[in-house]
Structure 1
Amino acid sequence: MAAALRGSRYLVGRCCRHVDFALVSTRSMASKTQVGFVGLGNMGNPMAKNLLKHGYPVIATDVFPESCKEVQELGAQIVDNPAEVADKADRIITMLPSSPNVVDVYTGPNGILKKVKKGSLLIDSSTIDPAVSKEMAAAAEKMGAVFMDAPVSGGVGAAGSGKLTFMVGGAEEEFTAAKELLSCMGANVVYCGQVGTGQAAKICNNMLLAIGMIGTSETMNLGIRLGLDPKLLAKILNMSSGRCWSSDTYNPVPGVMEGVPSGNNYQGGFGTQLMAKALQGQCYKRVSMTWASHRTQRPTQRLRCLSAP
């Protein structure tokens, strides 16, 4: 699924303007019809499980067959590729690592758009370039389907507990139908505007998260080197003005918190490579950074501190 990004990008002003919304929106909101799911990694796996818990039959696939075992044991039907998912379900959620993966899953030889049904609702929860979301929306529109971008915040823990935040971009007429599914996996589902605005909100959130995590990591490292107990330091930070999500919910130092990657040998979290992708590929090249004192170091260099106290 590592297809190279195509050079051309479709820039659509209003997504899916030629799609028959009457056809799409007549699906019953209360129905527990089949839902397709593509991408069963650290985030996609618990998200698909939550759909199953809410009574939705799930048809799923992943490039790594071993990733499908858990959801299959819970009752999901596993198929060989995204096209087969589209052949069996008219509501599909994708959760993939990068823009090239999304392009391949939707438009590749065995992609969703090869067998997508007219009126299908396609929701991409990957964190990717907003321009790619617009490109996929244009390609879906040609097939009579609706594409929405719905990236998430909250991490693996929130994915497991069904408390993710979804930032949704796309046709407002379809937001209610999208929210029905996304609410099974998240506590907050926010409509942001046209296609690509969900990704824009996620980029901004990732930028702030990266700054907070880098700062928390450096602060904890400094305190430990000065002889402070990390648990005590974390307690002080979290009752003081330095408190942030990275310090009180996702502390990066082993032994400070349970149920987070640092408490599990850094397994199951949001990898620094993915954060670097988000910052470099989307944010770093597009946004004029104001933190001038950091311009001599690239985000990928500073992010190394996340993996060590």
Structure 2
Amino acid sequence: MAMKPGTTAVGLAGLGNLGLPMAHALLDDGWSLTVFDPVEDRVRSCVDAGAKSASSVDELASADVLILVVPDDAAVESILLGDQGYFAASSEGAVIVHSTILPASAQALAETAKTQGTRFIDAPVSGGAARARKGDLTVFVGAERDDFDAVGDLLHAVGSEVLLAGGPGTGAATKLANQMMMFSALAGAYEALDVAGKYGVDPGMVLRSVASSTGGSWVAANWGFFDETAAAYTASGTAVSDRPWSKDLFEFITAARTAEASVPFAGLLSQLLPGYVESHARDAAAGDGAGHNGKDDDD
């Protein structure tokens, strides 16, 4: 049976940079939502918009659908597995994992869910907080077709582009591929602007020039996105190692090793990019929008 607004009880754990605006998008769409997050102000924001609050993640076990927007594999598994986990408590429910996790983790969780009679939908997202608030994300889905169809309305409440890539794990693999492509462009842009700046070219001029040229990219067209995102993570106390330009690249490399694929560029990128992003964000916050590429950053 398809799940519908107003008649399906939805629990959501994780009201961070994406989880909070996604929760508001679901409320705007009429879903009955109960939320959990350890930060009280985030929960209050949702309650003021019509959600119910849970004092612990265990209280979400009675939900028809559990949505997870938590940081990583360990957080997802701690909620779903074990004698007190959602799989043990719910025999007819569904789990939607919007977190970016390893493809192998998604596959293993899907197998466990099947033994419990629970639907499992691997559904990481892309687009950022502003698009999340409008329900305009891209959702990469890995799921069995009937499970995908059952939660289709929920997925479309947060995403304008909802793509079924295949079975469980394929959503995670597609998201990691997206991250690798995006971060490759980002690292190239930092270095390109740094070199052009050495010759007196304003970064804005370079970005305007590539907008209609072969060097154009989403990264260049949305310059400043990662400065703002890094600032939001800093404000929320998120460790650098848990931010996408660190965590997702590490997961891409881990997934590649599991698949016995060689990814030497990803290895180099994982060492360089976190410093690039964080130093540029600090420079932007200090009023130097040009930033630098992080090579001389000793922090």
Does the alignment reach a TM-score above 0.5?
A: yes
Question: 217, 221, 232: which one pairs with 1:267?
Answer: 232
Q: Relative contact order (alpha carbons < 8 A, sep ≥ 6): 1 or 2 greater?
A: 1
The answer to whether structure 1 residue 162 and structure 2 residue 135 are counterparts is yes
Question: 191, 208, 220: which one pairs with 1:247?
Answer: 220
Amino acid at match of 2:162: V
Preserved contact between residue 10 and residue 66 of structure 2 (Cα < 8 Å): yes
C-alpha change, 1:131 and 1:262, in structure 2 (3 Å) is same
The aligned residue for residue 217 of structure 1 is 190
Please state how far the C-alpha of 1:261 moved relative to its aligned partner.
Answer: 4.6
Mean Cα deviation higher: 280-289 or 168-177: 280-289
The aligned residue for residue 103 of structure 1 is 77
Question: 256, 269, 272: which one pairs with 1:301?
Answer: 272
Q: Secondary structure at the match of 2:46?
A: helix
Cα distance in 1, alignment partners of residues 231 and 219 from structure 2 = 14
Preserved contact between residue 6 and residue 32 of structure 2 (Cα < 8 Å): no
Which structure shows the bigger proportion of residues in helix conformation? 2
Identity fraction in percent: 28
Please state how far the C-alpha of 1:175 moved relative to its aligned partner.
Answer: 1.4
Please state how far the C-alpha of 1:125 moved relative to its aligned partner.
Answer: 0.7
C-alpha change, 1:80 and 1:219, in structure 2 (3 Å) is same
- Equivalent residues in 2 for 1:54-93, closer than 5 Å: 54-87=29-62, 89-93=63-67
Cα distance in 2, alignment partners of residues 77 and 31 from structure 1 = 13
C-alpha change, 1:27 and 1:133, in structure 2 (3 Å) is same
- Equivalent residues in 2 for 1:89-238, closer than 5 Å: 89-108=63-82, 110-116=84-90, 118-238=91-211
Question: 15, 22, 39: which one pairs with 1:47?
Answer: 22
Cα distance in 2, alignment partners of residues 73 and 143 from structure 1 = 35
- Deviation track 1:101-132 (CA, whole Å, cap 9, x = no partner) reads 1111111565323422x221111011011111
Cα distance in 1, alignment partners of residues 273 and 140 from structure 2 = 27
Cα distance in 2, alignment partners of residues 160 and 131 from structure 1 = 30
TM, length-normalised to structure 1: 0.80
Cα distance in 2, alignment partners of residues 268 and 74 from structure 1 = 23
Structure 2: state its 5+ residue gaps.
281-290, 292-299
